[in-house]
Amino acid sequence: MTVIQNILWLLVLIGVMILIHELGHFWAARYFDVKVDVFSFGFGPRLFGFRKGETDYRFSAILFGGYVKMAGEQPGDENSDDPRGFLAKPRWQRMIIAFAGPIMNVVLAVGVLTGLYMFKYQKVVEPAVSGVVGYVTPDSPAAKAGVHAGDRITKIDGKSYPTWEDIALAEGTNARKALDVTIDRNGQQIPIQVTPNMDERSGMGTAGWSEQDQVQLGTISPGMPADKAGLKKGDLIMAANGQPVRSVLRFHDTIRSSNGQPVTLELERDGEKKQITVNPVFSKLDGPERWMIGAIVERKLKIETTKLSFPDALGESLRQNYKGASLIYQFLAKMVQRNMSPKSLTGPIGIAQLSGEAAREGPSAFFMLMSMVSLNLAIFNLLPIPILDGGVIVMLLIEMLMRRDMSMPVKEAVFKVGFVFIMVIVAFVIYNDISKMLPG
């Protein structure tokens, strides 16, 4: 049932993204009097629709995305000599048409967050003292560098007094690269170097440290040990087997090293102290097979909730989307530098899981995901890959510099290479999603 829900929410999410994207191309094409033969929601054989003017508006069999087919759009099309065809228009007009799709996705990303922030704006309240280490995994890069629980990271990768978001970004994007770190231990500043390992499953760097904070339970999986033991979402975990739990990583290590032995948890629920014993099981519920109890474990965040005025909401939305775009380009650069692995990319299966989880969490989470995916789609489409909008734009720029069109055989070859490249990427991210779900 969960899988079906995930697929349905994925169709909603991707459907909106692609529909908005293609509307951008469609409106720009109509503005410049380009003949649009087909506006399709979905791919493959036509299921139903209607014709209005010269355009066939249709629903197609594969409801995963959509497309706009313009007359003479591809080299070798039978309508390539149509005076209202795409290739017959001036290059600057074709460039605007190509830009219009990604721009609409950016507008959607900004608009969704703006509307959400006017209704519900949540801000995480950072602790007065940031960067305090709550736990260090034995034999991890952080442990080998001499980091102890209770140390405060005062500088990492050139950034002073970082938040844990800054620390996670630095370690995640710098696998196998020595990071200059300064820690404060009892008032003494100690310079060290930490070289994060590459996590083969996630493709991200990991140093083996985690933030000192309160730990609480999130979603409980039905039928799993946490559910059977009576644990509930929102329970604060104070200790496990008599040892204080001050970080998520500490809790995970305790469960995974239990080897199936009962784990006694001291927790707080609605201000009342409780002690519950849970028996981990060896399972692959959400990824590799390991000892688990079937509960999401997360930091207990202090969140301020308010509503923003339209100008403030728009400003905050623009800041968050700019930050998101910068991170995407940073991730791509780190992959090229091999400080991150392409395994960190998420494909349709992973997005389906995220869609279902966000939808079940509530409208706010789903709209946040929609904004993020829309921004990602805009940036991906602007990459200089033939067949994508970015590839079309690059070819138009080259032709502008050459002051003549590329030959038809060259264009056809470029589009064929682009198509093969995109198919390879699609196959890779699907394989990547599946491999993350398999044991080992």
Q: How far apart are CA 435 and CA 440, in angstroms?
A: 9
Phi/psi class of residue 303: alpha, beta or left (left: φ > 0; alpha: ψ in -120 to 50)? beta
Active-site residue, 22 included: yes
Q: Which amino acid is at 135?
A: Y
Q: Which residues pair with residue 182 across a beta bridge?
A: 155, 191
Are the C-beta atoms of 254 and 240 separated by less than 8 Å?
yes
Q: Which residues pair with residue 295 across a beta bridge?
A: 220
What is the distance of C-alpha 177 from the center of its chain?
Answer: 23
- Which residues lie below 8 Å from residue 324, measured CB to CB, with a gap of 6+? 109, 372, 375
Q: How far apart are CA 357 and CA 361, in angstroms?
A: 6
Q: Which helix (H) or strand (E) holds 112?
A: helix 91-119
Q: How far apart are CA 416 and CA 323, in angstroms?
A: 34
What is the distance of C-alpha 281 from the center of its chain?
Answer: 29
CA torsion, ordered 224, 228, 233, 235, to nearest 10 deg: -120
Q: Which amino acid is at 229?
A: A
Are the C-beta atoms of 65 and 42 separated by less than 8 Å?
yes
Are the C-beta atoms of 192 and 206 separated by less than 8 Å?
no
Known catalytic residues are: 22
